């Protein structure tokens, strides 16, 4: 009996040690956190001393028309806590330079991977509703996101929103990726939803030509905003045309249209002309990017681009569309934009200038240094 008790004790001791080792392995896996980052520092100069760097026209000649600035200082934390689950956090420390309320925290979500075809995401993230949402947060093609990206983000369709999504990929003759998303639609870091309504959106991206990376994206969404129906829709096309051994041309184009409920509800009820359906925005941009892969020491490439964008925040009423030209030259050091120097000009043109507003013609010269960690 005594020998049996001793043998059982030894067995339990070995089993305990084995479990301790397994838990130790699991815990060490959970504690693996990968850190990435992005730094964008720039100098901006407005050619019009009466228009500040936010595009605001000043009648009192007190515009701030040149400035050194930290545009983004992002830190991204990724942790794979199991073979199926990952957690993502993204902070933009540059937001501390002004009132950080409802800012700083950008991404905070977890993903669960069931298989290639079906995955889940919940938290605060960027809904897939356009070509620019497909870029990693630490990779920006031009000097800045497009005007329509900002406007549709303010209306709850893009940028950082709180919600959940289902996404995946389907292989075949015509490979495609899809994402179905539901979000509060009142932007990031809010205490709670502001009207009980939700934004439901979807994106389908088809790979038309694998060799030239030609992709077609279709986007659509419906929302309930303060018990009123709203919508958004769009399409985009992208691809790469090889010219010769070191030269290639990347082309992107996108179109969107939807309800501008932010504009509608910011107006006094007496100033509104009709219902929300009469307040709509639309935009389109075309971005050709000529790339020369020089691969000379640390200099990887030189790129020339000029994005043209058309955007109208209220095309049924104001009819004062904004046209923006952004010619840019950039040099890429190291790999995948890990170090980049950009020189460009944002040229804004309106159908007619409106004094004392942001709808005023201007040119802004920008020198930007971008590094990825």
Q: Give the pTM.
A: 0.87
Average pLDDT, rounded, for the chain: 89
- 49 is a domain residue: yes
Which residues have a Cβ under 8 Å from the Cβ of 84 and sit 6 or more positions away? 112, 113, 114
- 364 is a domain residue: yes
- 127 is a domain residue: yes
Looking at the predicted structure, is the pLDDT value of residue 7 above 60? no
User: Does residue 27 contact residue 50 with C-beta atoms inside 8 Å?
Assistant: no
| Residue 298 pLDDT | 85
Looking at the predicted structure, is the pLDDT value of residue 265 above 80? yes
- 96 is a domain residue: yes
- 299 is a domain residue: yes
Looking at the predicted structure, is the pLDDT value of residue 70 above 60? yes
- Structure confidence by residue, pLDDT tens digits, 164-212: 999 999 988 889 999 999 999 999 999 999 999 999 999 999 999 888 8
Confidence of residue 270 (pLDDT cuts 50, 70, 90): confident
| Residue 210 pLDDT | 86
Which residues have a Cβ under 8 Å from the Cβ of 32 and sit 6 or more positions away? 79, 80
| Residue 211 pLDDT | 84
User: Does residue 154 contact residue 187 with C-beta atoms inside 8 Å?
Assistant: yes
- 349 is a domain residue: yes
| Residue 142 pLDDT | 85
Looking at the predicted structure, is the pLDDT value of residue 16 above 80? no
Confidence of residue 6 (pLDDT cuts 50, 70, 90): very low
| Residue 31 pLDDT | 64
> What is the distance, to the nearest Å, from the Cα of residue 322 to the centroid of all Cα atoms in its chain?
21
Confidence of residue 23 (pLDDT cuts 50, 70, 90): very low
| Residue 19 pLDDT | 43
Structural domain containing residue 340: 35-372
Window from 28-37, 75-84, 156-165, 364-373 with minimum mean pLDDT: 28-37
Report the number of distinct structural domains present in the chain.
1
- Domain of 206, CATH number, reads 2.40.160.10
| Residue 140 pLDDT | 77
> Using CA atoms, how far apart are residues 37 and 24, in angstroms rounded to an integer?
29
Confidence of residue 15 (pLDDT cuts 50, 70, 90): very low
> Using CA atoms, how far apart are residues 326 and 309, in angstroms rounded to an integer?
9
Which residues have a Cβ under 8 Å from the Cβ of 297 and sit 6 or more positions away? none
Which residues have a Cβ under 8 Å from the Cβ of 212 and sit 6 or more positions away? 239, 240, 241, 242
- Structure confidence by residue, pLDDT tens digits, 302-345: 999 999 999 999 999 878 999 999 999 999 998 777 899 999 99
| Residue 122 pLDDT | 98
The more confidently predicted of residues 60 and 236 is 236
> Using CA atoms, how far apart are residues 78 and 73, in angstroms rounded to an integer?
17
Looking at the predicted structure, is the pLDDT value of residue 8 above 50? no
């Amino acid at each position: 009996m005594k020998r049996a008790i001793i043998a059982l004790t030894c067995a339990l001791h070995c089993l305990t040690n084995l479990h301790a080792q397994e838990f130790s392995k699991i815990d060490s896996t959970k504690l693996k956190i990968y850190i990435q980052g992005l730094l964008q520092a720039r100098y901006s100069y407005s050619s019009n001393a009466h228009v500040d760097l936010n595009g605001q026209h000043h009648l009192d000649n007190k515009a701030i028309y040149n400035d050194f600035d930290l545009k983004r200082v992002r830190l991204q934390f990724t942790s794979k806590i199991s073979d199926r689950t990952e957690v993502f956090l993204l902070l933009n420390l540059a937001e501390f330079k002004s009132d950080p309320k409802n800012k700083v925290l950008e991404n905070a979500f977890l993903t669960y991977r069931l298989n290639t075809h079906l995955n889940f995401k919940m938290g605060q993230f960027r809904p897939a509703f356009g070509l620019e949402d497909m870029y990693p947060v630490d990779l920006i093609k031009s000097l800045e996101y497009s005007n329509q990206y900002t406007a549709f983000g303010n209306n709850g369709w893009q940028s950082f929103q709180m919600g959940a999504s289902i996404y995946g990929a389907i292989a075949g003759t015509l490979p495609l990726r899809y994402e179905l998303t539901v979000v509060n639609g009142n932007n990031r870091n809010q205490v709670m939803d502001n009207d009980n309504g939700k934004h439901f959106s979807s994106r389908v991206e088809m790979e038309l030509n694998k060799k030239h990376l030609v992709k077609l994206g279709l986007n659509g969404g419906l929302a309930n905003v303060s018990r009123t129906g709203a919508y958004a829709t769009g399409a985009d096309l992208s691809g790469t045309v090889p010219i010769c051994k070191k030269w290639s041309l990347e082309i992107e184009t996108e179109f969107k249209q939807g309800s501008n409920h932010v504009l509608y509800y910011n107006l006094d009820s007496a100033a509104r002309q009709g219902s929300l359906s009469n307040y709509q925005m639309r935009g389109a941009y075309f971005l050709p990017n000529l790339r020369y892969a020089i691969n000379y020491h640390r200099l990887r490439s030189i790129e020339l681009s000029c994005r043209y964008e058309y955007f109208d925040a209220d095309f049924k009423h104001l009819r004062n569309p904004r046209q923006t030209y952004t010619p840019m030259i950039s040099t890429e050091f190291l790999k995948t934009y890990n170090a980049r120097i950009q020189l460009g000009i944002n040229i804004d043109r309106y159908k007619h200038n409106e004094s004392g507003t942001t709808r005023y013609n201007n040119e802004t010269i920008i020198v930007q240094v971008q590094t990825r960690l």
